[in-house]
Amino acid sequence: MISHELVLAVERVSFSYGVVPALIDVNISIGRGEIVGLLGPNGAGKTTLLRIISGLLVPDAGIVKLSGQESSRLSPWAIAARGVAHVPQGRRCFSGLTVEDNLIVGGYRLPQTKALAQLETTYEVFPVLRDKRRQLAAELSGGQQQMLAIGRAIMSAPDLLLLDEPSLGLSPKLVQQMLATLLRLSEVLRAGILLVEQNTRLALSASKRAYVMRGGRILLDADSATVASEVKALYFGQTARGSALT
């Protein structure tokens, strides 16, 4: 069940790389237990927004609140301690460590008893990781490494999970498995999940609500069914009537 408790509120955030604006007056929110899609073409500002939420970048203007507390200028490790887990593109597993050691690294902030319980939760979500827990991460397939990257984030028992293109490079069959995994994560973690995806079908199937970005701005905030009917026009800069978007 989705809670009305907000785990994330981004309020009027702007950011530029030098003189090039990347985010312009962005507002988004996520409730506990809610999966929210964030869609848009390459260069829309999606990854920049995730990096601001997780503290890797500091906004030029606006604020970010985590469970009602401002976090806009905290360090990445302080934001992680507040319950944010960020899974960037590219998986980035520790290839020379075993699967289980990769997972244990993700839970290093937790007391030992809670970390062990979280490890069991992770194995329930990704049974294949239990089967391969003694293998090196480098020996896993691409899809299994993606599971491991998400599993390592789960190990921190996050309140907010940021996923940047989790389906990138996966086969159609694995994309379907990813959809089932996202729905399972929402149920098990009761965390808010912000899902950045180029695969609009996956994002809109997993979420009940989504945002569409283009040119650093939020162009649409609506239920996923509405976004599905509008997304092509929004991506390419035209409304359903064919007029240019401003």
Q: CATH 3.40.50.300 region(s) of the chain? A: 1-83+159-246
What confidence tier does 242 reach under pLDDT thresholds 50, 70, 90? very low
**CATH of the structural domain 1-83+159-246, one choice from 3.30.465.10, 3.30.1300.30, 2.60.40.10, 3.40.50.300:** 3.40.50.300
What confidence tier does 188 reach under pLDDT thresholds 50, 70, 90? confident
- pLDDT for residue 84 is more than 50: yes
Give burial (CB, 10 Å; 0-12/13-18/19+) of 217. middle
**Region 159-173: what's the mean pLDDT?**
85
Residue type, 200: T
Note whether 78 and 42 are within 8 A (CB): no
More confident residue, 107 or 172: 107
CA–CA separation, 154 and 159 (whole Å) = 10
pTM for this model (two decimals) = 0.87
In this structure, of 65-74, 158-167, 208-217, 234-243, the range with the lowest mean pLDDT score is 234-243
- pLDDT for residue 220 is more than 50: yes
What confidence tier does 178 reach under pLDDT thresholds 50, 70, 90? confident
- pLDDT for residue 246 is more than 50: no
CA–CA separation, 44 and 34 (whole Å) = 23
